Amino acid sequence: MKKIITISREYGSGGRTIGKIVADQLGYAFYDKELIDMAAKESGLAPEFIEKTEQNISSGWLYNMMLGSSYAIGTAGAPPGTNNPILPLADQVFNAQRKTILQIAKKGPCVIVGRCADYILSSDPDTDKKTLFNVFIYADLEDRIKRAVNEYKVPADESRRIVTQIDKRRANHYNTFTENTWGDRTIYDLMLNSSFLGIDGTAGIITEMAKKA
Amino acid sequence: MKKIITISREYGSGGRTIGKIVADQLGYAFYDKELIDMAAKESGLAPEFIEKTEQNISSGWLYNMMLGSSYAIGTAGAPPGTNNPILPLADQVFNAQRKTILQIAKKGPCVIVGRCADYILSSDPDTDKKTLFNVFIYADLEDRIKRAVNEYKVPADESRRIVTQIDKRRANHYNTFTENTWGDRTIYDLMLNSSFLGIDGTAGIITEMAKKA
Q: In Å, how far are A38, A56, A64, A74, A88 from A71, measured between CA atoms?
A: 25, 10, 7, 9, 18
Is the pLDDT at A194 greater than 90? The verdict is yes
> What local confidence, expressed as pLDDT, does residue A65 receive?
44
> What local confidence, expressed as pLDDT, does residue A56 receive?
54
Q: B185 and A193 in contact by Cβ < 8 A?
A: yes
Alpha helices in chain B (DSSP H): 15-26, 33-43, 47-55, 61-67, 86-107, 117-122, 141-152, 159-177, 194-212
Question: What tens digit of pLDDT does each residue of B88-104 get?
Answer: 777 888 888 898 999 99
Question: What tens digit of pLDDT does each residue of B2-21 get?
Answer: 999 999 999 999 999 999 99
Chain B residues within 8 Å of chain A (Cβ atoms): 133, 136, 138, 183, 185-186, 188-193, 195-197, 201, 205, 208-209, 212-213
Chain A residues within 8 Å of chain B (Cβ atoms): 133, 136, 138, 183, 185-186, 188-193, 195-197, 201, 205, 208-209, 212-213
8 A C-beta contact, residue A118 and residue A187: yes
How do strand B190-193 and strand A190-193 relate by DSSP bridges? antiparallel
Q: A191 and B190 in contact by Cβ < 8 A?
A: yes
The confidence band for A75, taking pLDDT boundaries of 50, 70 and 90, is very low
- Rounded Cα gap, residues B213 and A149, in angstroms: 25
Mean per-residue pLDDT of chain A: 85
CB atoms within 10 A of CB B67: 13
Chain A residues with CB under 8 Å of B192 CB are: 189-191
Q: In Å, how far are A70, A142, A145, A182 from A61, measured between CA atoms?
A: 10, 24, 20, 22
- Which of residues B35 and B67 earns the better pLDDT score? B35
Is the pLDDT at B50 greater than 70? The verdict is yes
Q: A188 and B193 in contact by Cβ < 8 A?
A: yes
Query: What value does the mean pLDDT take over residues B23-29?
Result: 98
Task: Supply the DSSP string of A23-36, one letter for each residue.
Answer: HHHHT-EEESHHHH
Question: What tens digit of pLDDT does each residue of B60-76 get?
Answer: 444 444 444 333 333 34
ipTM over 0.85: no
Name the burial class of residue B42, with classes exposed (0-12), middle (13-18) and buried (19+) by CB atoms within 10 angstroms of its CB. middle
Q: Choose the mutation target among B137, B140, B185, B188 for the interface with A, i.e. most A CBs under 10 Å.
A: B185
Question: What tens digit of pLDDT does each residue of B162-191 get?
Answer: 999 999 999 999 999 999 999 999 999 999
> What local confidence, expressed as pLDDT, does residue B87 receive?
53
> What local confidence, expressed as pLDDT, does residue A53 receive?
65
